Amino acid sequence: MPDANEKKSKTTLEVIEPIGARVLIRKDEDKKQTKSGIHLPDKIEIPTLTGRVVSVSAEVKLDDKYPIRRYDRVLFNPRQGVPVDFEGDNRLFVIPVEDIVAVFRKASESDDGE
């Protein structure tokens, strides 16, 4: 029989799964430089309201009226978002799906622009 000291340690991963009509978003970094190339002082940042979807609740996955999938880049309203302190990352937010205002998609050649 193996000794208690010989037991292999199991690594457990902690995941965050949104409940209800919510998604987990990793907010993009705030910009410290303007489009024209001007670097901003450390105390001034351009707030970013875009991010990547990390996780989608089961309710959102099953509802066809929400075209949001994992890894989508989205534009969102952070007012109702709940910040998540996870792995020392202050950029994770649980956002109600209604606060996602746009999904960035690549246009295909078959799109006719309508």
Q: How far apart are CA 5 and CA 78, in angstroms?
A: 48
| Sign of the torsion angle spanned by Cα atoms 34, 72, 56, 85 | negative
Is a pLDDT exceeding 70 seen at residue 24?
A: yes
Q: What is the pLDDT of residues 40-76, one digit of tens each?
A: 666 655 566 899 999 999 999 999 999 999 999 999 9
Q: What is the pTM of this model?
A: 0.68
Is a pLDDT exceeding 90 seen at residue 15?
A: no
- Which comes out higher in pLDDT, residue 85 or 19? 19
What is the set of domains in the chain, with CATH numbers? 18-104 (2.30.33.40)
- Nearest 5°: the CA angle 13, 67, 71 is 35
